[in-house]
Structure 1
Amino acid sequence: MATLSILLLGGTGTIGRATARALRADGHRVTALIRPSADASLLPGCTVVRGDLPEALPGAMTGIDAVVSCLASRTGKPADAWAVDHAANSAALKAAVTAGVRHFTLLSAICVQKPHLEFQRAKLAFEAELQTAPIDWTIVRPTAFFKSLSGQVPRVAKGKPFLVFGDGRLTACKPISDADLGRFLTLTLTDPTKRNRILPIGGPGPAITPLDQAAMLERLTGQPVRIKRVPVALMQGIVGLLSALGTLSPKLKAKAQLARIGRYYATESMLLWNPATGAYDADATPEFGTDRLEDHYAAMLRGEVADDRGAHAIF
């Protein structure tokens, strides 16, 4: 397999770090463009270039064969989304085309299938731009991440109830680990069947509901896990109230946007959407990798893995 020179964007995030490890494990040379204040020690074995986008992009593209972008807005707020998910990626694409880079792999999200939120529209706008650019491309749309489904592990370990919306079976997903996703992103650079395609991808095994997550924790702790059901109507009411108050206060307007994001993830499955049936299709959602959510929960309970959601804790 040919050794490639890769420019990695968004490399200091958990998925970016896992992707850097996967790229290096496959023998590729990795240059990571990071913010001036970012911690370069998070990317051992990579050539680190510090700088702000878009100014640092032309110099970072020198000698690069392919770009892998794991850039994503931290909060999903509209201004942040358009600045990062769209504008930053757009600037990187333009610099790549100018430099003669051959391939651009984008980490997107499966939730853009049903775009109701501004960050989804920002992602789709760049996806469209990428597909018409004079460069080979791959768009990867993963399902839920392990970290996104791990926020309740510490509270359950303390004996607190596991919160579910509705009956706990309203949504389902095939979560994928950072490591498996990093390996999949790496494959897009050398596998011709993954070129110029939109690739939804989930982890191994059947789709998991919130009640399934609670059952995992019950098995792992050996203790009954209490379930607290939160009516979806309650979240609808919170969104409506914050939206109304948001007309008077920019701070409450921002909170309303975050509440809409929370409502979306509480009511929509992270699986492949079948427009013909008008339903999510777990069987049709592709699977990849070997890591399983239950093993991740076990590692968290043993203190081997930390809650690393950061600003994504609202999800």
Structure 2
Amino acid sequence: MASILSTDSENIMQPKNKLSSILEWGTLVGSTILVCFFLLVILWEIFSKGSSVITWEFIRSLPTEGMTKGGILTPIIGTVMLTLLTALFSIPFGVCCAIYLNEYAESNWLTRLIRASIRNLSGVPSIIYGLFGLALFVQGLQLGTSLLAAGLTLGLLSLPYIITTTEEALLRIPNSTREAALAVGATKFETIKDIVLPSSMSGILTGVVLTLSRAAGETAPILFTGAAFYINQTSVSVNQEFMALPYHLYMLSTQHQSIDEVRPIAYGTALVLVIVVFLMNLTAFYIRYTYRQHEK
């Protein structure tokens, strides 16, 4: 009698489980299709209106006549310099911090508090970093509105992401690998330098490149720390204001006195920025693929 009741309950539960699986699968697929649809709409809007503007002359020319004519060479140079400064200030500190937390720090309440603080900093709005950079670097350290102040601000914004992704890459290396290196006489530092870091390099570099691609598209942190409305020259000094593609796009789209006149330039700038970010993301995937092929 008990076996009959058990069989009946299983037969009743099977349709419910099947229906639940179909609903879950349909929700996931529907959400994916919806997100991809809006993404394609945005990309098509930018590409269709910006592709006609992008020419070699547009890329290599300086903005002229209050940015109503000319090209975007100055914002491109400023974006490249800003990204390099961000990498210079964030990568060494972020990677070293992740190595210490994962390889040297003891597992106690202080380490857990530091990790929680780092992850919370990843969720802080970028405008807060901009205000902090204004208070610390522009006013506190008296760097003024400059490329250096903006690079330091974006470096702070990038630190939590680099620390988190680097630590996750280090965690993927099994402890048995470390123990084997220590067993043959290697020191802890040699084990990290020669075994752990090379094995986790694909994950570290992928996280770094993706973080820098995000930083290259930020507007709020550089809004108060160094971005300029209009500069008609190619020379960029770390102690001077600069032009950047995201801020240039923001000004053309919302603050320019002749918005309708500069709208094609804004779409061209947006397309260039999308291409730059896409190429940086593609570089990250290529790095990961190359390292994984070498590991095989």
Q: How does the TM-score come out when normalised to structure 1? A: 0.20
TM-score, scaled to structure 2: 0.20
Larger Rg: 2
Identify which of structures 1 and 2 has the higher relative contact order when contacts are C-alpha pairs closer than 8 Å and 6+ apart.
2
Structure whose residues are more often helix by fraction: 2
Please state which structure has a larger fraction of its residues in strand.
1
